[in-house]
């Protein structure tokens, strides 16, 4: 440990996470429990931060995962229309032919924009809820010239059924099978329409029968989310909340105050509903965060549980959003100084709050240590994500690295990292 993190401070984080899990159960995005947990964390932060704000925002949290059963129904409609379409050139035939393309096409677009790219595509179709962000600052002794923000999210996810049943071995076939099914049904309907919307004969019959054989995938993706269980979210992502809070607590308790560097702590709401809290925060504050040329960087932490899996994330939203490489370099240097290499994570289907900042032109990167349990003890987005599966060693090391990142940033800012990046190009 570079920053002498006491056992007491580690216990503060573990105890705080456990308390939130016990007192604020079922903290799904946009629930009263999520808002209550945020109010509780705000009060906690007021013990050591200089200023804490809490901001409510409107959202439609059911859209991010709720589009899945809708897309499955549209795919099923695509199969039905394929077979109902007589292909006789009549009005009904053309309506069925066109609808057979339009409905699965809409399903595919929802998958692309809502799930892969984290955009508010069909959000307006789902009920409105209120979620909230908490943001704390620890001020420098002098004028604010630069700012580094650490953050986690307070909401917890509905259990992913296949992740619980068989981890990635069950999850992957359902996701890939489901997605292929939607595109297959779209494909055969489109091909048939383009070929003149003919009757089902020969090859068209074979393609139609294959479509019927995909029905199990359609049923399987409908059951993707287990709405009966909201996980505790101890690691994902209260671990990150408390590490980010502890950065300020540690500085405060040791009487350290930088001269020109402000420390921020963002506890977002509704990350599991598609980064909605961090997006709302970045959208609202992008101008004041960078006003007067104050260099602002954000390191978003997620699921700090497995030291072996600790990595720097510089790309997310399924690879469609690029984060800031130089901020990643800063994090990597901090890791190295604390004795931990933090390799750049490869492509993965998902995102962290860093991408919400990147979407609004704010400099950020992700810092995750996602635990991959061997079967049968699946952990990520399952009921196993409880306080018993927290890893104090990983939490302490993550805090050490964050404190180091703050120290490096305070000492030299982003200029040397930017210069190094430029000379690399």
C-beta of 39: minimal distance to Zn ion in Å?
22
Q: Is the Cβ of residue 159 or residue 236 nearer to Zn ion in the bound state?
A: 236
Which pair of structure tokens corresponds to residue 272?
């599991």
Burial per residue of 99-128, b for 16 or more beta-carbon CB atoms within 10 angstroms, e otherwise: bbbbbbbbbbebbeebbbbbbebbbeebee
Using CB under 5 A, which of the segments 44-52, 85-93, 231-239, 275-283 binds Zn ion? Answer: 231-239
- Binding-residue total with Zn ion (CB under 5 A): 1
Binding track over 177-216 against Zn ion, x by CB under 5 A: ----------------------------------------
Q: Is the Cβ of residue 181 or residue 268 nearer to Zn ion in the bound state?
A: 268
C-beta of 70: minimal distance to Zn ion in Å?
22
Burial per residue of 328-344, b for 16 or more beta-carbon CB atoms within 10 angstroms, e otherwise: bbbbbbbbebbebebee
**Residue of 236, 241, 324, 404 that binds Zn ion (CB under 5 A):** 236
Q: Is the Cβ of residue 236 or residue 241 nearer to Zn ion in the bound state?
A: 236
Q: CA-CA distance, 212 to 206, in Å (whole number)?
A: 10
Q: Is the Cβ of residue 154 or residue 312 nearer to Zn ion in the bound state?
A: 154
C-beta of 357: minimal distance to Zn ion in Å?
17
- Answer yes or no: are the C-beta atoms of 320 and 358 closer than 8 Å: no
Q: Is the Cβ of residue 358 or residue 382 nearer to Zn ion in the bound state?
A: 382
Q: CA-CA distance, 275 to 317, in Å (whole number)?
A: 10
C-beta of 165: minimal distance to Zn ion in Å?
18
Neighbours of 412 (CB within 10 A): 12
Which pair of structure tokens corresponds to residue 169?
């071995």
C-beta of 380: minimal distance to Zn ion in Å?
7
Q: Is the Cβ of residue 271 or residue 329 nearer to Zn ion in the bound state?
A: 271
Using CB under 5 A, which of the segments 35-43, 112-120, 195-203, 232-240 binds Zn ion? Answer: 232-240
Q: At what angle do helices 62-84 and 161-194 cross, to 10 degrees?
A: 40
Interaction of residue 325 with Zn ion, rule CB under 5 A = no
Which candidate, 242, 226, 269, places its Cα nearest to that of 31?
A: 269
Using CB under 5 A, which of the segments 38-46, 123-131, 170-178, 233-241 binds Zn ion? Answer: 233-241
Q: Is the Cβ of residue 150 or residue 379 nearer to Zn ion in the bound state?
A: 379
Q: Is the Cβ of residue 133 or residue 332 nearer to Zn ion in the bound state?
A: 133
Residue 265, helix vs strand vs coil: strand
- Count, residues in the chain: 425
C-beta of 172: minimal distance to Zn ion in Å?
17
Report the residue number whose CB is nearest to Zn ion.
236
C-beta of 297: minimal distance to Zn ion in Å?
23
Which candidate, 277, 275, 266, places its Cα nearest to that of 243?
A: 266
Q: CA-CA distance, 250 to 132, in Å (whole number)?
A: 25
Q: At what angle do helices 91-110 and 62-84 cross, to 10 degrees?
A: 150
337-376 residues in contact with Zn ion (CB under 5 A) are none
Q: Is the Cβ of residue 29 or residue 403 nearer to Zn ion in the bound state?
A: 29
C-beta of 149: minimal distance to Zn ion in Å?
20
Percent of residues in the chain assigned helix, strand, coil, to nearest 5:
55, 15, 30
Burial per residue of 245-254, b for 16 or more beta-carbon CB atoms within 10 angstroms, e otherwise: bbbbbbbbee
Using CB under 5 A, which of the segments 30-38, 80-88, 234-242, 248-256 binds Zn ion? Answer: 234-242
- Answer yes or no: are the C-beta atoms of 107 and 183 closer than 8 Å: no
Which candidate, 131, 105, 114, 102, places its Cα nearest to that of 37?
A: 131
Using CB under 5 A, which of the segments 230-238, 288-296, 326-334, 401-409 binds Zn ion? Answer: 230-238
Binding-site ranges for Zn ion (CB under 5 A): 236
């Amino acid at each position: 440990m570079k920053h002498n993190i006491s056992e007491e401070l580690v216990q503060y984080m573990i105890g705080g996470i456990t308390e939130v899990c016990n007192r604020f159960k079922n903290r799904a995005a946009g629930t009263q429990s999520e808002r209550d947990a945020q109010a509780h964390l705000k009060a906690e932060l007021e013990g050591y931060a200089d200023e804490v704000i809490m901001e409510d925002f409107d959202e439609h949290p059911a859209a991010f995962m709720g589009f899945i059963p809708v897309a499955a129904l549209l795919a099923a409609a695509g199969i039905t229309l394929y077979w109902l379409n007589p292909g006789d050139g009549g009005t009904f035939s053309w309506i069925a032919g066109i609808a057979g393309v339009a409905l699965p096409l809409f399903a595919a677009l929802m998958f692309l924009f809502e799930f892969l790219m984290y955009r508010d595509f069909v959000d307006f179709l789902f009920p409105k809820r209120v979620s909230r962000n908490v943001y704390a600052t620890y001020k420098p002794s002098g004028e604010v010239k630069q700012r580094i923000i650490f953050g986690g999210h307070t909401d917890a996810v509905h259990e992913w059924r296949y992740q619980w049943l068989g981890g990635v071995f069950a999850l992957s076939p359902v996701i890939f099978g489901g997605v292929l099914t939607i595109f297959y049904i779209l494909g055969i309907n489109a091909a048939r329409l383009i070929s003149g919307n003919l009757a089902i004969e020969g090859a068209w019959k074979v393609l139609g029968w294959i479509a019927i054989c995909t029905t199990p995938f359609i049923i399987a993706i409908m059951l993707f989310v287990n709405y009966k269980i909201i996980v505790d979210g101890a690691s994902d992502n209260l671990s990150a909340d408390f590490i980010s809070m502890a950065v300020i607590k540690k500085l405060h308790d040791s009487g350290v105050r930088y001269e020109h560097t402000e420390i921020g702590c963002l506890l977002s709401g509704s990350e599991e509903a598609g980064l909605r809290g961090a997006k709302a925060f970045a959208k609202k504050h992008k101008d004041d965060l960078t006003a007067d040329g104050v260099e602002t960087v954000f390191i978003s932490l997620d699921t700090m549980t497995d030291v072996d899996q600790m990595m720097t994330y510089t790309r997310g939203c399924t690879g469609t959003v690029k984060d800031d490489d130089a901020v990643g370099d800063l994090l990597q240097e901090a890791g190295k100084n604390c004795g931990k290499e933090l390799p750049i994570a490869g492509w993965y289907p998902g995102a962290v709050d860093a991408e919400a900042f990147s979407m609004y032109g704010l400099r950020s990167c992700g810092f995750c240590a996602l635990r991959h349990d061997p079967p049968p003890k699946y952990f990520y987005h399952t009921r196993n994500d409880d306080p018993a599966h927290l890893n104090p060693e990983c939490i302490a090391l993550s805090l050490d690295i964050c404190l180091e990142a703050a120290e490096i940033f305070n000492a030299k800012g982003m200029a040397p990292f930017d210069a190094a990046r430029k000379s690399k190009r």
